Amino acid sequence: MKKCIIIPAFNEGKNIGSVIQGIREYSNADIIVINDGSKDATARCVREAGGYVISHPFNMRYGVALQTGYKFALKHNYDLLLQMDGDGQHLPGSIPRFFEMLESGQCDVLVGSRFLGAGGYHPGMLKIMGITLFKILIRIMNGERITDPTSGYQCMNRKVFSIFTDDSFPCDYPDTNVIIRLHRMGFVVKELPVDMRPNPEGRSMHRGTLKIIYYFFTMFLSIFITMISDKDYYRKNGVRP
């Protein structure tokens, strides 16, 4: 099976080289870094570390960078895709297990859960509250237990990432809404215990009160739209597996 690892990166020149080297210790999958309009030497660092780099002409944020990776993987006929962060938060030791589980066909999407792992990463109180709220939402809507719905450390098969290449993919914040949507589409979503550590520079996508409010608003709106529109969408696109 043709496998790739996509890494969205914005100004990760300091970390991306070591992230790629770390991955190489565990996997021979193609490493594709989506350089999201970085102002630093991210692209050069990726090339020097032996990764393949796709550079956005300007910054378009995390979700769009992920989607560029999905589009590239679809175009180049990859069967399995693993996505992880470029800041070193996601430890690469779990990569072989991700691919093994997907190859065995046990699931369509595998979400790396920091709460099932050794427990090296303890998020702040606000983040825990947000995660708990989304866990409850998934439980109510999907009837399944997902312990880390905001994890960006995920692996998926071609059927899944091909769906993410169209404009219905929530590029703003692809989190809980995507998990709910995939479940409603009939895909099997499972979790894998992984180890994560905090961002080495303390950076986060959800920093600042306004950003957090906007995140929650976007997430609830996206989930609501998923609830009311998916049946029509699936019928139109015929994507139910």
- Interface with other proteins (CB under 8 A): 4, 30-32, 34, 47, 50-58, 60, 64, 67-68, 71-72, 75-76, 167, 171
Element (DSSP H or E) covering residue 168? none
- Coil, helix or strand at residue 90: strand
CB of 51 to other proteins, least distance (A): 6
Residue 45 or 131 with smaller CB distance to other proteins: 45
CB of 177 to other proteins, least distance (A): 18
Name residue 43's amino acid.
A
Residue 36 or 87 with smaller CB distance to other proteins: 36
Q: Helices marked H in the chain — which ranges?
A: 16-24, 42-49, 62-75, 95-103, 125-142, 158-163, 176-184, 209-237
CB of 188 to other proteins, least distance (A): 28
CA angle 146, 8, 113 (to 5 degrees): 20
Residue 153 burial by Cβ neighbours in a 10 Å radius (0-12, 13-18, 19+): buried
Long-range contact pairs involving 132-137 (C-beta distance under 8 Å, separation at least 24):
134/175, 134/176, 134/219, 137/176, 137/180, 137/223
- Coil, helix or strand at residue 83: strand
Greatest Cα pair distance in the chain: 47
Measured CA to CA, the distance from residue 194 to residue 185 in angstroms comes to 26
Evaluated on CA atoms 24, 27, 29, 35, the torsion sign reads: negative
